[in-house]
Amino acid sequence: MKLFNRLPGFPRTPAGKERQVLRRLPATLLFGTLLLAAPSLLVRVFADTADAMAVTTTDIYVASLIILHWTVVLTVGIAAFIVMVMKGPAYVADAYPLQEMETLEQSGKAHRQTR
């Protein structure tokens, strides 16, 4: 018994932009995180030691932007994966006979007779 039965004669859709997006996601995640962390590092280098409030505020903004960036990258990755799966081959579901089939057919006949 095969786990998945492919639908015969179903054309497979060629890969599109979703593959390119999935390939670029790790680099986007890494470089985006590094670029977003740069202001925090620059404030530590150029700010006075007495200006701790600027360092703290910048760290909070940078942390929130990094978390937002990760969330956006994850969401785009999930969307690209869904598109990739949907473009794959079609599968045939196994037959699932209804136990109530006889009663449904009988009620349909009874309903037609009353009309």
Dist. CA 63–CA 16, nearest whole Å: 34
Instruction: Please report, in tens digits, the pLDDT of each residue of the chain (115 residues total).
Output: 566 777 777 777 788 899 999 999 999 999 999 999 999 999 988 888 778 888 999 999 999 999 999 999 999 999 999 998 888 777 777 666 666 666 655 666 555 555 5
User: Are the C-beta atoms of 113 and 54 separated by less than 8 Å?
Assistant: no
78: tokens are 């999930």
pTM of the full structure: 0.69
- 85 CB neighbour count, 10 Å cutoff: 9
25: DSSP letter: H
12: tokens are 């497979």
Domain ranges of the chain: 13-93
Looking at residue 82, what is its pLDDT? Answer: 92
